[in-house]
Amino acid sequence: MNKNEIIPGLIAIALLFLLLFVSVAFYHFHENLSFRDAVFFTVITMSTVGFREVAPLSALGTWFTVFLIIFSIGIFAYAVTTLTRYIVEGVLRNYFKDNKVKKKISRLSDHVIVCGFGRNGKQATSELIDHGVKTIVIEQEEGPLQELRDDEDILYIAGDATKDEVLQYANIERARALITTLPVDADNLFVVLTARELNNSITIISRASNDNSDIKLKRAGADNVIMPDKIGGQRMAKLIAQPDVVEFLDFVMLQSTDSVALEEISCQELADFYINKSIRELDVRNESGANIIGLKREDGSFIVNPLPEVLLSRNDKMFVLGTKKQLGRLRNILGNVHV
């Protein structure tokens, strides 16, 4: 909930207290009532309870009381309606929940920002959280926002991801990656431009709907552009042409990290002993049970199912398939302390 939603309640309370203050002051100083009687007479008048006058009023006091009754009915009804809405609709609860989450977000770093909590954003968020990645969701639509508020495991920001200040609330300067899944390509383009300007080193993944949007998004600074409709069509064709291959890849990619997983291991993490050594010398399969199924070389090229004679350099990346236990053992063997 933004500040604009809390302002009507503050206005209602302020009007009530202002009317109460003016009325008590009038009865106390002009009508010579004691402070206690002035408060009592003001309250019973504003609430239209109908008790008799505390003391006889002057002509001006009578007219003031008439106008007080008229104005207080409207202000009192406005205040009661506004505050009831806050309680019934949970506006106050949402306001305090949003502020509590913002405090947690302010301490985050090396996290991923997901813009939009539609079908794609929800799936991306779920996958990231399942893999233990710190994630923040930015959403402005009330329906998805309420779903986020009801989920204790997801950090979120209620706001427009295309605005600089919203991305700054999400600590984009300290984030490792941003995924924008907004339904309109122009909005995704704006998010990419803003994010790249605020953090030049961040990894940006964008969703696109139109065929010509992917080029523009990459020009704006997106590292990768995903087109769900295109991928969906390719997947349906693959299910006809190569159904078992698709099923196997789904089994590998969609399993939880407690079972089989395909992970990327940077050679930056390797102990110096293994640099410029061959894959055979790592003896990955015998030592850990995991398998190196691919390499990404320093020049960006890929080697699928590399031969044992292939030498590793410091800037290579290995794609390793195995269980969580096997991958952990491999990281230990290769000298990675972040197990």
Bridge-based pairing of strands 317-323 and 291-296 is antiparallel
Tally of CB atoms within 10 A around 256: 10
Give burial (CB, 10 Å; 0-12/13-18/19+) of 187.
middle
Domain count, the chain: 3
Answer yes or no: do 72 and 21 share one domain.
yes
* Domain limit, last residue, from 197, 231, 265: 231
Residue 316 sits in the same domain as residue 270: yes
Strand partners, 139: 158
> What is the arithmetic mean of pLDDT over 57-75?
82
pLDDT value at residue 327 = 85
In 3D space, the residue among 24, 15, 22, 30 whose CA is nearest the CA of residue 44 turns out to be 24
**Size (the chain), residues:** 339
Angle of helix 243-253 relative to helix 228-241, nearest 10 degrees, comes to 130
218 lies in the same domain as 260:
no
Residue 135 tokens read as: 């994630």
Q: Is the pLDDT of residue 88 over 80?
A: no
Annotate 191-206 with b (16+ C-beta within 10 A) or e (fewer).
bbbbbbebbeebebbb
With respect to residue 245, please indicate whether it lies within any of the assigned structural domains. Answer: no
Q: Is the C-alpha dihedral spanning 17, 23, 28, 34 positive or negative? A: negative
CATH of the domain at 306: 3.30.70.1450
Residue 247 is assigned to a structural domain of this protein: no
Of the candidates 327, 317, 319, the one whose C-alpha atom is nearest the C-alpha of residue 270 is: 317
Domain boundary among 89, 122, 138: 89
Q: What is the pLDDT of residue 90?
A: 56
Are 112 and 227 contained in the same domain?
A: yes
Residue 243 lies in a domain: no
Residue 121: name the closest of 85, 161, 86 by CA: 161
- Based on the fold, state whether residues 82 and 112 are members of the same structural domain: no
> DSSP secondary-structure letter at 315?
T
Whole-number mean pLDDT of the chain? Answer: 83
CB 136 within 8 A of CB 170: yes
**40 & 82 share domain:** yes
Residue where a domain terminates, one of 196, 231, 266 = 231
Q: Is the pLDDT of residue 62 over 80?
A: yes
What CATH number corresponds to the domain at position 50? 1.10.287.70
Residue 187 has pLDDT above 80, yes or no: yes
CA distance 97 to 73: 33
Looking only at the bridges linking them, the beta strands covering 135-139 and 112-115 are parallel
In this structure, what token pair is assigned to residue 115? 């813009």
Residue 337 confidence (pLDDT): 40
| End-to-end Cα distance, the chain | 39
Note whether residue 318 is domain-resident. yes
Q: List the beta bridge partners of residue 304.
A: 294
pTM of the model: 0.61
Q: Closest by alpha carbon to 60, among 32, 79, 83?
A: 32
pLDDT tier for residue 124 given thresholds of 50, 70 and 90:
very high
Same domain, 207 and 113: yes
Question: Is the per-residue pLDDT at 256 higher than 60?
Answer: no
* 309: exposed, middle or buried (Cβ count in 10 Å: 0-12, 13-18, 19+): exposed
Per-residue pLDDT at 333 exceeds 60: yes
Domain extent, residue 273, equals: 255-334
Can you tell me whether residue 193 is helix, strand or coil? helix
Residue 131 lies in a domain: yes
Instruction: Decide if 283 is inside a domain.
Output: yes
Q: Quick check: is 100 in a domain?
A: no
- Biggest CA–CA distance in the chain, Å, is 107
105: CB partners within 8 A, 6+ apart? 136, 155, 157, 169, 170, 171
User: What SS3 class is residue 296?
Assistant: strand
Residue 77's pLDDT is what?
77
| Residue 1, CA atoms < 13 Å, CB-side half-sphere | 18
Q: Are residues 145 and 52 in the same domain?
A: no
CATH number for position 114: 3.40.50.720
* Contact call for residues 149 and 83 (beta carbons, < 8 A): no
pLDDT surpasses 70 at 91 = no
Cβ density class 107-142: b for 16+ within 10 Å, e for less: ebeebbbbbbbeebbbebbeebbeeeeebbbbbbee
d(Cα 139, Cα 316) in Å, to the nearest integer?
37
pLDDT in tens, 29-54: 888 888 888 888 888 877 777 666 66
If pLDDT is split at 50, 70 and 90, which confidence band does 339 have?
Answer: very low
Question: Can you tell me whether residue 77 is helix, strand or coil?
Answer: helix
Mean pLDDT of 288-304: 89
